[in-house]
Amino acid sequence: GENVEQHPSTLSVQEGDSAVIKCTYSDSASNYFPWYKQELGKRPQLIIDIRSNVGEKKDQRIAVTLNKTAKHFSLHITETQPEDSAVYFCAASGGGGSYIPTFGRGTSLIVHP
């Protein structure tokens, strides 16, 4: 089955800096890569996703890049703000005929004012 590795486990930045979270996946057939944000005490929510037919997708201050050859994808947050502080989870699905996402371990992002 699919295996998703996520790094770093914790990321601390100053407000205004950029943050990058990286994930690798094992199944080359995976074709859908969502990112979820979980604020403290709240539910995980989808913030951005990318499918395998594109290499990059942007939505305001967040962007995701995908390198299918290397089987890795990354989340980029620019001009970080304190409200970006949360746990971020990457996921991959579509491999082996399964549409059920396999998640990474999560990255706790702390943005210091």
Q: Provide the binding-site residues for other proteins, judged by CB under 8 A.
A: 4, 6, 9, 32, 34, 36, 41-46, 49, 89, 94, 98-106
- 87 forms beta bridges with 38, 108
CB of 23 to other proteins, least distance (A): 11
Rounded distance, CA 96 to CA 110, Å?
35
Residue (36 or 85) nearer to other proteins, CB: 36
- DSSP, residue by residue, 81-101: -GGG-EEEEEEEB-GGG--SP
Q: Please, which residue, 81 or 100, has the CB nearer to other proteins?
A: 100
- Give the residue with the Cβ less far from other proteins, 41 or 113: 41
CB of residue 9 to other proteins, shortest distance in Å? 7
The token pair at 11 is 């990321």
Reduced to 3 states (helix: H, G, I; strand: E, B; else coil), residue 56 is strand
- For 47, the 3-state DSSP assignment is strand
Considering the complex, state which of residue 3 and residue 81 has its C-beta at the smaller distance from other proteins.
3
**Shortest Cβ 25–other proteins spacing (Å):** 12
Identity of the residue numbered 51:
R
CB of 104 to other proteins, least distance (A): 6
